[in-house]
Amino acid sequence: MNAAMVAENFGEACPASAPFFGYMGAAAALIFANLGAAYGTAKSGVGICSMGVMHPGLIMKSIIPVVMAGVIGIYGFIIAVVVGTKIKEPVGGGSQAVTPQYTLFSAFGHLGSGLTGGLSGLAAGMAIGIVGDAGVRATAQQPKLFVGMILILIFAEALGLYGLIVALIMSSSGGGSCPSA
Binding site residues, other proteins, CB under 8 A: 1-6, 8, 10, 16-17, 19-20, 22-24, 26-27, 30-31, 34-35, 37-39, 41-43, 45-46, 48-50, 52-54, 56, 59-60, 62-63, 66-67, 69-70, 73-74, 76-77, 80-81, 84-85, 87, 89-98
Q: What is the largest CA-CA distance in the chain?
A: 77
The nearest distance, CB 115 to other proteins, in angstroms, is 13
Give the Cα separation of 78 and 113 in Å (integer).
12
Say if CB 29 and CB 36 are below 8 A apart: no
Rounded to a whole number of angstroms, the minimum distance from the CB of residue 174 to other proteins is 20
Cβ atoms of residues 109 and 173 within 8 Å: yes
**Of 22 and 135, which has the nearer Cβ to other proteins?**
22
* Single-letter amino acid code for the residue at 27: A
Output the smallest distance, CB 176 to other proteins, in A.
19
**Bridge partners for 102 per DSSP:** none
